[in-house]
Amino acid sequence: MSSLGITMSRFFDQLFKFLHRFISYSFAIVFFSLQGAFFGAFYAYFFGSALIPDFSIENHPEVVYVFVFATLLAAIGHSIEFGILTPLGYGGFRNDLRKLNSFLKPNETIRHKDILELENNLNTLIHLPKENMYAAIRYAVMVFFSVSITHLICRHPLYELLLVSVGWLSAVFVYGGFSYIISDYFTGNKRVEIKKILAYRDVSVHKNYGILSLKGKFIFLLILILLSLTVLSVFISFGNASLLKISAFIGMTFVEAVILIYMFFQSINLTLEQINESANSLATGGRGALPILSIDKEFILFAENYEKATREVGRIRENLQELVEAKTSELRNSLETVETLKKQQDGDYFLTSLLIKPLSLNKTIGSHVKTDFLIKQKKTFLFHGRENEIGGDICIARTITLRGKDYTFFLNADAMGKSLQGAGGVLVLGAAVQSILERSTAVESVKLLYAERWIKNAYQELHHIFESFDCSMLVSMVMGLIDDETGLMYYLNAEHPWSVLYRKGTAEFIKNNSELRKLGTPFSEKSLEISTLQLIPGDVLVLGSDGRDDIEFVTETTARKINHDEELFLRHVERGNGDLKEIYQSILLMGELTDDLSLMRIAFKENIHQPPRAIRKESYELMRKAKSQIKSEELEGAKNSLLEANRINPENREIQRALIRLLVRMKEYQFAAEKLNTYIEEYPGDTDLIYLASFTYKQTKEYGKAIDMGERIRLRNPGHLSNLIQLVQLYLTIGNLPKAEKTLQLTFLIPSDTNRIEQLKSQIETFRQKIVDEIPS
């Protein structure tokens, strides 16, 4: 607040208190309101003198005297009505004002007054500005009628009376508005005092408001300024006023405007300070009572809503302890329920993990093939103080024996789904695989299977199990067998991440064209293909689930960045030198795991160094001699040369291959079959010689062995047309018509010699008709 405002406020307050003490409270208010009467009289006088050239005390003495006398009489009447004679025992015309003056005696407290008396006088104070304004208008009407009657009696022109009425309206506007604002300002403190007492007694104090709102007061001040400018412009334009009159009008208008504007904004300022203090009180734990000073509608409505809010806050504070205890009890019960459910869930997790552990075993016993696992499931849980984990990844390795040879079975799989769902898939898969492995050690017919047929049967059995779940449980996997002696690996990949071959410090993916889908997904047997890979001593295979690639990189931003580079895993394998722990640490250095991770390491003859098999000089010379004899069609001599070379160098593969091919060419099928039995056991990866063995066994009428060899080739290379045709012929030979037809259908997908296919179809139809003819009628 400025120094001028402080000075004005102190002057008004001291004068008001003086009048209140020695006369009455209501007159102290009217005293200031009467200034508006004189301001209005000046407005009317200046307006009339500006518009009526002859309007002066010399030309209209009766009218001027009556105007002055009536104005004084109105001021006296206004003062008497509002208690100027209270010291003489007459409190005025109005009963409510007499009660108010009696209620608000100087130097007397009102705290002991009863509620009804306080409320009645509060209402009187709230309505006092309105009643004062109405009184001002009544006395202004009296003045106007007095002047009008005098004007008519003196027979002055009627147009002058019309102009006088316009000036009178200006005077009424100024007098009434001034009275309202003055009364509102000076009754504010007492209203606040009474409201505080009532609020302390929990009585609602915001029930009534004045007839003028904030907008109404602002519009009044705006019109007053515009009216003043209008009167001034008329004054100047008609040229009837002297400089002294103009200066007096401007000075009077300025004083009036300053007083009204000060009171208007001071009332708003004090009200806003009250709101601020009340809000601070409420925020610091107080009651937050708001005995608002203003009677403007906007502030009263705000105070009503604020009072409702503070009462609700008070109610909440009173019941806060109970509410806190009730909410705490609810939260405690909810927490106990959650903890109980969590314990039950962790118990389920624990039991499931106990079931999975004996299924995910590394039970290899060979010395040439070594296997190792690393499994980190994403979901961890605490049960009975021990941390465990559960997820959908599994690794299994075990040594089995087929046809008298040791094989290392391996499986790395990832069941779809999180936590318990993935664990359920692993549980089913692990149990099924263990059942297959146990059967392989107990059932003689299974032990006689070739590796390709064993893997096919195992895959089909697993697929049929998961197919029954109607695609709600899917598993990706890589599964295979490794010949412990030769290092030939038979494997298949069902939508699992590519395996990695780590050889001589370099890692590369083992890619194939397999069309197999996850276990549980419908598939055609035509897509089943068993791949082979010849391992050499020192090779390391690293198998892994997709958790190895799903890494969230650590970045400075909040946005997630997931790895999409599959070849990043190759660099991890090379950095870790094929060691699982080092590979795992290399992955963690790049970022955080977002999925289950399982890694399997398979090493073939890692620390065994075998010298290369060199051909002896004598054998080499015999080989050259045999080639020369074959060219000159001396087949018998070539046979003897190769037999001698084989005797000298029995481990040499090329000599054995050349001898077997020569024996087949010479149609010595029985001898060739004997050699093939030994060769294929030693070199099971030679697909060409296996096909030749199938042909040879067919010639020696060992149809079962011939079919076995043909099926092995079909599993390795389903597109081998000559093998498929030979298989059809073999099945027809033994009378297995369904297998012949099924195998023949596979040839339709391969570009081929249609004449040969048609001949086989004709043979099948002939065979079928022969069977029908043999059925007795």
Q: Is 248 exposed, middle or buried (0-12, 13-18, 19+ CB in 10 A)?
A: middle
pLDDT tens across 691-722, in order? 999 999 989 999 888 988 988 888 888 878 88
Question: Of 239, 71, 78, 241, nearest to 145 (Cα)?
Answer: 71
Q: How far apart are CA 506 and CA 573, in angstroms?
A: 9
Q: How far apart are CA 415 and CA 379, in angstroms?
A: 14
pLDDT for the residue numbered 543: 95
Question: Of 584, 521, 500, nearest to 547 (Cα)?
Answer: 584
The architecture that CATH gives domain 349-604 is 4-Layer Sandwich (3.60)
Query: For 196-200, 505-509, 546-550, 643-647, which range has the lowest pLDDT when averaged over its residues?
Result: 196-200
Instruction: For the chain, give every domain's residue range.
Output: 3-318, 349-604, 667-774
Reply yes or no on whether the pLDDT at 130 is more than 90: no
Reported as type and span, the H/E element at residue 543 is strand 540-544
pLDDT for the residue numbered 274: 74
pLDDT tens across 638-696, in order? 888 888 888 888 888 888 888 889 888 899 999 988 989 889 888 898 889 999 999 99
Reply yes or no on whether the pLDDT at 573 is more than 90: yes
Reply yes or no on whether the pLDDT at 15 is more than 70: yes
Reply yes or no on whether the pLDDT at 45 is more than 90: no
Residue 639 has φ and ψ, to the nearest 5°, of -60, -45
Reply yes or no on whether the pLDDT at 2 is more than 60: no
Q: Grade residue 48 by pLDDT with cuts at 50, 70 and 90.
A: low
DSSP reduced 3-state for 501: strand
CA triple 486-488-490, angle to 5 deg: 150
pLDDT tens across 510-563, in order? 987 777 888 988 877 666 888 999 999 999 999 999 888 888 887 767 677 888
Q: Grade residue 18 by pLDDT with cuts at 50, 70 and 90.
A: confident
Q: What percent of the chain has pLDDT over 90?
A: 18
pLDDT for the residue numbered 572: 93
Reply yes or no on whether the pLDDT at 240 is more than 60: no
Q: What is the mean pLDDT of residues 74-95?
A: 83
pLDDT for the residue numbered 773: 60
Q: How far apart are CA 454 and CA 194, in angstroms?
A: 101
Q: What is the mean pLDDT of residues 473-502?
A: 93
Reply yes or no on whether the pLDDT at 287 is more than 80: no
Reply yes or no on whether the pLDDT at 777 is more than 60: no
Query: For 378-382, 388-392, 466-470, 593-597, which range has the lowest pLDDT when averaged over its residues?
Result: 378-382
> Which pTM value belongs to this model?
0.58
Alpha-carbon distance values, 699 to 402, 689, 735 (Å): 26, 15, 17
Reply yes or no on whether the pLDDT at 145 is more than 90: no
CATH topology of domain 667-774: 1.25.40
Q: Grade residue 43 by pLDDT with cuts at 50, 70 and 90.
A: low
pLDDT tens across 242-281, in order? 667 667 777 777 777 777 777 777 777 877 887 787 778 7
Q: What is the mean pLDDT of residues 563-583?
A: 91
Under 8 Å between Cβ of 32 and 182: yes
Q: How far apart are CA 733 and CA 731, in angstroms?
A: 5
Query: Which DSSP string do the residues of 449-487 spell out, in sequence order?
Result: S-HHHHHHHHHHHHHHHHHTTTTSS-EEEEEEEEETTT-
With a CB cutoff of 8 Å and minimum separation 6, the contacts of 644 are 622
Query: Which DSSP string do the residues of 376-429 spell out, in sequence order?
Result: E-SEEEEETTEEEEE-SEEEEEEEEEETTEEEEEEEEEEESSSHHHHHHHHHHH
| CB hemisphere CA count around 621 (13 angstroms) | 3
pLDDT for the residue numbered 216: 78
Which tops the pLDDT comparison, 762 or 135? 135
DSSP, res 333: H
Count the Cβ atoms, other than its own, within 10 Å of residue 586. Answer: 18
First to last CA, the chain: 127
CA triple 354-357-363, angle to 5 deg: 150
pLDDT for the residue numbered 288: 63
pLDDT for the residue numbered 507: 93
Which tops the pLDDT comparison, 452 or 273? 452
pLDDT for the residue numbered 576: 92
pLDDT for the residue numbered 53: 60
Reply yes or no on whether the pLDDT at 598 is more than 70: yes
Q: How far apart are CA 360 and CA 373, in angstroms?
A: 9
Reply yes or no on whether the pLDDT at 110 is more than 90: no
Question: Of 706, 684, 501, 504, nearest to 601 (Cα)?
Answer: 501
pLDDT for the residue numbered 75: 84
pLDDT for the residue numbered 614: 60
pLDDT for the residue numbered 775: 58
On average, the pLDDT of the chain sits at 82
Reply yes or no on whether the pLDDT at 459 is more than 90: yes
